[in-house]
Structures are given as structure tokens and as C-alpha cells.
Amino acid sequence: MIIKALGKEYNVKDITYKERRELHRLNAKTFWDGKVDPENYYDILEKVSEISGLGEKDFKGLSMVDIDQVLQEVFTEYMGLSKNEDGDWVFLFGLHITNLNQSKDLKSFRIKLNPL
């Protein structure tokens, strides 16, 4: 499967049903009860890296924030998530995630949860 992120194409492994269920479980735990658990969020990204087969050689020259963006793109493709007309991600389990206050250097951002 080809994923486009940061102006580059990444060849990633297809995801199995079992792996997809595991990511869904981790995702639900990350955004449970209207709160974001950063530790669980990074667990998702690490699991995506493992499943996808992407690693250090694929991320040479990228910042950690860039690597997170690539893994987030892979995750959204794996989970069948889509963007709404505003460009915000709509998650399958009923939360609307809006990326707010992204800094110019892309070193930090906040996530706002809005019930659908």
C-alpha cells in the first residue's frame, strides 16, 4: 500500500483484521471520555510503525514531528478515517478532532475534541 505524506510516497505493509482491531482499541483508549491520553497516542504511533514496516531508514532526515505526521497518515489510512469539508479528521467512533494552534515550527500542537 502506498501512503503519501510530506511530499513523499511510503510503501507500507497492508494491515490485517486483527491488527486493525488492536489499533481501534488503542485509539478508543487514547480519546476516551473526551480526554486525550498522550501516552496512549504515542503507543498508537509505535504500533503503526511496527505494523507498517516503516523504520529508521524510512525516516532518515526527518524530525520527530515529521515522523509522527507520517505515522498519523498511515494510521488514518489503516483505520479508514476521512477528512470532513473543513479538513478536520472525523474518527469512526464519533469524535471530531480539530488541530488547533499549530505552531509555525510544527514542534507542538493541541487537539480539541468535539462530539459529533
Residues 20, 79: contact at Cβ < 8 Å?
Answer: yes
Q: Which residue bears the cell 500542537? A: 109
pTM comes to 0.69
Residues 45, 71: contact at Cβ < 8 Å?
Answer: yes
Q: Cβ contacts of residue 113 below 8 Å, gap of 6+?
A: 31, 34, 35, 36, 95, 96, 97
Q: Using pLDDT thresholds of 50, 70 and 90, give the confidence band for residue 100.
A: very low
- List Cα–Cα distances, 52 to 3, 6, 40, 67, 85, in angstroms: 10, 17, 18, 13, 28
Residue 40: how many CB atoms within 10 A of its CB? 15
> pLDDT (tens digit, 9 = 90+) per residue, 12-59?
999 999 999 999 999 888 887 778 888 999 999 999 999 999 999 999
Domain boundaries, the chain: 2-83
